[in-house]
């Protein structure tokens, strides 16, 4: 018995240090802006996925919609040595590449959400050597679906006057979206883009932009935007101008709760489906796999994460009454 007891003690003594050696992982999320609801939802997905592990901690950093701020954050994280991995929603998909390449060289795992990192926004495979995963789809896919929906609506209208509200044309991804809109709509002689405004992903900025546009263009048929926040601001401006939002074809992007409610009520026409929580969760799981020495996929298509049409309409929501969006707006 004495020998058996000693063996049991020895076994416990050996097992305890091995358990204590389980490595903790610190993962930083570099939001394009932590004040932005879509980015907050990505982080909600990251936190939710992290809660499924015993050894994963996360922290969000506010990129302030500034390429410079985000570049400095990457440099500070690499110099600080606290974090094992970075998940980033990039503000400057091209300029941030150098900093992220240095992070990879320093042994920090790097993943990106919403957009790829590198000069080619339509290339989903890693353009930064050693980048772990891209959870995104090319901006062309969503913009094409939106533009084609506008073409269908405008088929029997001549002229069909379109207002475009985009985020910021200084952002490469918004340029790609805007160029896609212009290319597809420009193939139809009956469609005229009468104005393009920048909403900066802010209802307030979007309201001001739409007010300016309506001063010269009250007769509009379509408001096409890449962000639901832009339609929120446009709705106020349209109402203030004495126009009926429900009589204008309005298409946003992002699929937040406000958009779902407005589409169900018939105030907005539709929006582009996106799932930020699912993107964040998929990125977190991929980074943990990589830190554990496994090999996650280098690209996870955003549109593979949930099964919905790309353009969400009232008809689809009526057919799917239990559908819940992933962010509030």
Residues 295 and 290: their CA atoms lie apart, in Å, by 6
Residues 170 and 315 in one domain: yes
Please determine, for residue 9, whether its predicted confidence score (pLDDT) is greater than 60.
Answer: no
Specify the long-range contacts of residues 120-126, CB closer than 8 Å, at least 24 apart: 121/93, 121/172, 121/173, 121/176, 122/176, 124/299, 124/301, 125/298, 125/299, 126/298
CB atoms within 10 A of CB 294: 9
* 97 in any annotated domain: yes
- Give the relative orientation of helices 228-240 and 257-265 as an angle to the nearest 10 degrees: 50
Predicted local distance difference test score (pLDDT) of residue 14 = 43
Residue showing tokens 């062309």 = 140
Residue 247 lies in a domain: yes
In a domain, 249, yes or no: yes
Are both 83 and 29 inside the same structural domain? yes
In a shared domain, residues 269 and 280: no
Tell whether 218 and 252 lie within a shared domain. yes
Residue 279 shares a structural domain with residue 266: no
| Same structural domain, 111 and 152 | no
Instruction: Give the per-residue pLDDT at 245.
Output: 95
Q: In the predicted model, what is the mean pLDDT of residues 49-59? A: 98
Q: For CA atoms 246, 275, 86, 100, give the dihedral sign.
A: negative
Q: Is the pLDDT of residue 125 over 60?
A: yes
Residue at 5 is within a domain:
no
- If phi > 0 it is left, if psi is from -120 to 50 it is alpha, else beta; for residue 33 that is beta
Give the chain's domain count: 2
Whether residues 49 and 131 share a domain: the answer is yes
- In-domain check, residue 200: yes
81: DSSP letter? -
- pLDDT on residue 12: 41
pTM: 0.85
Q: Do residues 41 and 83 share a domain?
A: yes
Q: Which of 4-13, 31-40, 135-144 has the lowest mean pLDDT?
A: 4-13
Residue 286: CA count within 13 A, CB half-sphere: 25
* pLDDT score at 8: 43
Two structure tokens written together for 254: 């992002």
Segment 19-30 shows an average pLDDT of 81
The label of the residue with tokens 């048929």 reads 221
Whether residues 267 and 297 fall in one domain: no
Domain of 221?
140-273+310-319
Q: What is the DSSP string of 52-77?
A: TSSSEEEEEEE-TT-HHHHHHHHHHH
Q: What is the mean pLDDT of residues 199-222?
A: 96
**Per DSSP, what are the bridge partners of residue 313?**
270
- Rounded-to-integer distance, Cα 217 and Cα 205, Å: 18
Is 12 part of a structural domain of the chain?
Answer: no
Give per-residue pLDDT as tens, 164-193: 999 999 888 899 999 999 999 999 999 999
User: Is 11's pLDDT higher than 90?
Assistant: no
Considering Cα of 91, then 94, then 99, then 105, what sign does the dihedral take? positive
Q: Are residues 70 and 170 in the same domain?
A: no
Do 255 and 147 reside in the same domain of the chain? yes
State mean pLDDT over 30-49: 95
Residue 42 lies in a domain: yes
Which is more confident, 172 or 213?
213
Looking at the fold, whether 183 and 212 belong to one and the same domain comes out as yes
pLDDT bracket for residue 7 (50, 70, 90): very low
Most confident by average pLDDT, 8-12, 31-35, 84-88: 84-88
The enclosing domain of 265 has a CATH number of 3.40.50.2300
Q: Which two tokens stand for residue 275?
A: 């799932």
Number of neighbouring beta carbons within 10 Å of residue 172: 18
**Cα 42 to Cα 36: distance, rounded to the nearest angstrom:** 10
Mean pLDDT calculated for residue range 311-315: 98
Q: What percentage of the chain has pLDDT greater than the value 70?
A: 93
- For the chain, the average pLDDT equals 93
CA angle 109, 304, 66 (to 5 degrees): 50
Q: 324 lies in a domain?
A: no
State yes or no: pLDDT of 326 exceeds 50: yes
Q: Point out which residues pair with 133 in neighbouring strands.
A: 111
């Amino acid at each position: 018995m004495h020998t058996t007891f000693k063996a049991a003690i020895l076994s416990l003594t050996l097992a305890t240090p091995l358990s204590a050696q389980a490595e903790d992982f610190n993962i930083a999320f570099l939001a394009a802006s932590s004040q932005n609801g879509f980015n907050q939802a990505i982080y909600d997905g990251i936190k939710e996925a992290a809660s499924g592990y015993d050894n994963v901690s996360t922290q969000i950093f506010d990129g302030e919609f500034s390429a410079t701020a985000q570049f400095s954050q990457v440099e500070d994280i690499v110099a600080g040595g606290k974090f094992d991995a970075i998940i980033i929603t990039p503000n400057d998909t091209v300029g941030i590449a150098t900093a992220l390449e240095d992070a990879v060289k320093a042994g920090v795992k790097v993943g990106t959400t919403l957009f790829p990192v590198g000069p080619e926004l339509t290339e989903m495979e890693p353009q930064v050597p050693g980048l772990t995963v891209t959870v995104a789809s090319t901006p062309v896919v969503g913009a094409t679906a939106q533009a084609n929906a506008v073409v269908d609506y405008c088929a029997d209208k001549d002229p069909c006057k379109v207002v475009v509200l985009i985020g910021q044309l200084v952002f490469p991804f918004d340029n790609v979206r805007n160029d896609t809109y212009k290319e597809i709509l420009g193939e139809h002689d009956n469609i005229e883009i009468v104005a393009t405004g920048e909403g900066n992903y802010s209802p307030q900025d979007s309201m001001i932009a739409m007010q300016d546009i309506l001063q010269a263009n009250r007769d509009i048929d379509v408001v096409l935007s890449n962000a639901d926040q832009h339609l929120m601001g446009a709705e106020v401006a349209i109402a203030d101008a004495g126009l009926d939002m429900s009589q204008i074809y309005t298409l946003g992007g992002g699929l937040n709760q406000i958009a779902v409610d407005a589409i169900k009520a018939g105030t907005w026409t539709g929006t582009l489906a996106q799932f930020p929580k699912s993107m964040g969760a998929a990125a977190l799981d991929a980074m943990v796999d990589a830190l554990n020495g496994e090999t996650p996929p280098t690209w996870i298509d955003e549109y593979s994460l949930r099964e919905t049409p790309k353009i969400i309409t009232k008809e689809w929501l009526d057919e799917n009454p239990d559908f819940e969006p992933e962010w509030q707006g």
